[in-house]
């Protein structure tokens, strides 16, 4: 077992296991998991953990879901891949079902969130050229996250993601998030805007939800100006916010919707959905993906939908999300370090008054809890949507113990519950 990080050591000095054979794209924790079940994980030493991040909003139906595992095994024994040179029944079925759930008309399948957004951005370019706009701009938001490819990192509103990769792809203008006046003002003075790309809740950006009024006003502005309203649901989609898609809380119909993360419950798949003119913009030869929409990925997607429809997973996420937020607000009420507690559905953020990256390692070592920290100072929780109420309460209790002010711990161990560390 790895020694717990010293509580006082900065995150940069915490032990980070690194293979000499892997590029240094991640600062990894020195823990490896060998097994999971629902919201629980076991590391290679057999220690049990509670998963409050779901592989970053991916394994929404939990680990080792028996129905999904069976679908993968069965399809692997039949057919994995044929290419998009032929019709693919599972792809057609998944496209139809996603369109029915989202109000969209057509789907393009790919393998990740960034690729789904690339497809959306290419639709925006085609939309522009169909309108005779030679120098198109896509309006994106400050603090946003859309992926790591060259186009999507340029769309992303975080200099840390862009630094080192200049020159950035041109064709983006940026407005503050959840500020309709700023968007209207930008619209007045910027020629060539043809589309708007926005997250209903900024996840990587610190768990900030847009107001329903803002999303409705964006819809109206896009109608007035013939812009495509493109909603990045890569993280918020598939029930995460307590609705199938985050924009449904505002009762709007976007022109383009992008999906990935939860769609395959860990099997890689992404989708770009569109309706209206946007659904007919691509013609053969203009966009493609070798792997995208293969029989295995799409059967997994269909199985995820089977489970979610049968178990009413989005409704369950809404109820559990309320329980999580209420629990956090009650338990952390008056906490000296807590600046804000935000969330929608099972996306929750606890903003602290300090940089807190070191909490990720401490949560693992001391609380056996998987969390993430985003934007340096916000603890982010993305529990599986299939958690039971006891597990939600357990997450709240472990987070509360993690955030107990240091003085209170050394002053008598008032940690608000039993120490979950197994005897060593
Ligand atoms: C994770 C994420 C992406 C990128 O998805 P990848 O599968 O990592 O390419 C894009 N947009 C949002 C909102 C995300 O959360």
What are the tens digits of pLDDT across the range 106-115?
999 999 999 9
- Please check the confidence at residue 6 and state whether its pLDDT lies above 90: no
What are the tens digits of pLDDT across the range 142-182?
999 999 999 999 999 999 999 999 999 999 999 999 999 99
What are the tens digits of pLDDT across the range 267-284?
999 999 999 999 999 999
Instruction: Give CA separation, 219 vs 178, 257, 343, in Å.
Output: 13, 13, 23
Q: Which atom of ligand 1 is nearest to the CA of 199?
A: 13
- Please check the confidence at residue 389 and state whether its pLDDT lies above 60: yes
Distance from Cα 424 to the centre of ligand 1, integer Å: 39
% of the chain residues with pLDDT over 90: 91
Instruction: Give CA separation, 232 vs 91, 156, 229, 243, in Å.
Output: 21, 11, 10, 15
What are the tens digits of pLDDT across the range 17-32?
689 999 999 999 999 9
Backbone angles phi, psi at 179, to 5 degrees: -135, 95
Q: Which atom of ligand 1 is nearest to the CA of 56?
A: 1
Instruction: Give CA separation, 41 vs 191, 320, 357, 419, in Å.
Output: 51, 20, 22, 18
What are the tens digits of pLDDT across the range 200-242?
999 999 999 999 999 999 999 999 999 999 999 999 999 999 9
pLDDT band at 16 (very low <50, low <70, confident <90, very high): low
143 in ligand 1 pocket by Cβ < 6 Å?
no
Instruction: Give CA separation, 245 vs 21, 91, 258, in Å.
Output: 39, 20, 10
The whole-angstrom distance between residue 38's C-alpha and the CA centroid of its chain comes to 19
- Enter the pTM of the model: 0.93
- Please check the confidence at residue 313 and state whether its pLDDT lies above 60: yes
Among 61, 7, 122, CA closest to 362: 7
pLDDT band at 186 (very low <50, low <70, confident <90, very high): very high
58 in ligand 1 pocket by Cβ < 6 Å?
no
118 in ligand 1 pocket by Cβ < 6 Å?
no
403 in ligand 1 pocket by Cβ < 6 Å?
no
pLDDT band at 350 (very low <50, low <70, confident <90, very high): very high
Average pLDDT, the chain: 93
CA torsion sign for 209, 110, 238, 359 is negative
Top-confidence residue, 423 or 363: 363
Distance from Cα 408 to the centre of ligand 1, integer Å: 38
- Please check the confidence at residue 76 and state whether its pLDDT lies above 80: yes
% of the chain residues with pLDDT over 70: 92
147 in ligand 1 pocket by Cβ < 6 Å?
yes
Residue 121: the pLDDT is 98
Residue 18: the pLDDT is 84
Among 94, 276, 113, CA closest to 197: 113
- Please check the confidence at residue 290 and state whether its pLDDT lies above 50: yes
Instruction: Give CA separation, 90 vs 70, 87, 295, 299, 307, in Å.
Output: 16, 9, 6, 6, 16
178 in ligand 1 pocket by Cβ < 6 Å?
no
Mean pLDDT of 237-258: 98
Q: Which atom of ligand 1 is nearest to the CA of 147?
A: 4
Query: What separation, in Å, do the N-terminal and C-terminal C-alpha atoms of the chain show?
Result: 10
- Please check the confidence at residue 375 and state whether its pLDDT lies above 90: yes
Q: Three-state DSSP class for 230?
A: strand
CB 237 within 8 A of CB 57: no
Distance from Cα 273 to the centre of ligand 1, integer Å: 15
10 Å CB burial of residue 407 (0-12, 13-18, 19+) is exposed
CB 150 within 8 A of CB 170: no
Residue 405: the pLDDT is 76
Mean pLDDT of 334-359: 97
Residue 409: the pLDDT is 55
Residue 388: the pLDDT is 98
Torsion angle of C-alpha atoms 377, 382, 383, 385, degrees rounded to 10: 160
- Please check the confidence at residue 295 and state whether its pLDDT lies above 70: yes
CB 79 within 8 A of CB 404: no
Mean pLDDT of 324-339: 97
- Domains of the chain in start order, with CATH, are 1-63+313-424 (3.90.1150.10), 66-311 (3.40.640.10)
Q: Which atom of ligand 1 is nearest to the CA of 148?
A: 9
Residue 129: the pLDDT is 97
pLDDT band at 83 (very low <50, low <70, confident <90, very high): very high
Mean pLDDT of 288-295: 97
């Amino acid at each position: 077992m790895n020694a717990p990080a010293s509580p006082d050591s900065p995150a940069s000095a915490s032990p980070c296991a690194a293979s000499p054979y892997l590029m240094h794209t991640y600062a990894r924790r020195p823990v490896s998991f060998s097994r999971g079940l629902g919201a629980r994980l076991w590391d290679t030493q057999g220690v049990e953990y509670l998963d409050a991040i779901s592989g970053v909003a991916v394994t929404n139906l939990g680990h080792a879901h028996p129905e999904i595992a069976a679908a993968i095994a069965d399809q692997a024994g039949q057919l994995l891949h044929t290419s998009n040179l032929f019709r693919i029944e599972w792809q057609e079925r998944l496209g139809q079902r996603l369109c029915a759930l989202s109000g969209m008309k057509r789907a393009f399948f790919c393998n990740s969130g960034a690729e789904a957004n690339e497809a959306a951005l290419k639709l925006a370019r085609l939309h522009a050229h169909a309108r005779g706009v030679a120098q198109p701009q896509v309006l994106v938001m400050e603090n946003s996250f859309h992926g790591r490819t060259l186009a999507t990192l340029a769309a992303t509103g975080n200099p840390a993601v862009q630094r080192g990769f200049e020159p950035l792809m041109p064709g983006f203008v940026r407005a503050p998030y959840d500020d309709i006046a700023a968007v209207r003002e930008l619209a007045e003075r910027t020629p060539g805007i043809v589309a708007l790309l926005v997250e209903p809740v900024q996840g990587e950006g610190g768990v900030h939800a847009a107001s329903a009024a803002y999303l409705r006003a964006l819809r109206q502005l896009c109608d007035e100006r013939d812009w495509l309203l493109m909603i990045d649901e890569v993280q918020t989609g598939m029930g995460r916010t307590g609705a199938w898609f985050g924009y449904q809380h505002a009762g709007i119909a976007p022109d383009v919707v992008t999906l990935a993360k939860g769609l395959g419950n860990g099997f890689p798949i992404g989708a770009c959905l569109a309706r209206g003119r946007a659904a007919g913009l691509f013609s053969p030869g203009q966009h493609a993906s070798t792997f995208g929409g293969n029989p295995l990925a799409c059967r997994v997607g269909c199985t995820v939908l089977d489970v979610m429809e049968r178990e009413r997973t989005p409704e369950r996420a809404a109820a559990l999300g309320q329980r999580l937020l209420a629990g956090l607000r009650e338990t952390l009420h008056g906490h000296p370090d807590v600046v804000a507690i935000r969330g929608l559905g099972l996306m929750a953020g606890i903003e602290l008054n300090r940089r807190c990256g070191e909490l990720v390692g401490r949560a693992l070592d001391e609380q056996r809890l998987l969390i993430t920290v985003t934007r340096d100072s916000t603890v982010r929780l993305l529990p599986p949507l299939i958690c039971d109420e006891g597990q939600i309460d357990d997450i709240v209790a472990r987070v509360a113990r993690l955030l107990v002010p240091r003085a209170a711990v050394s002053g008598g161990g008032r940690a608000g519950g039993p120490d979950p560390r197994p005897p060593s």
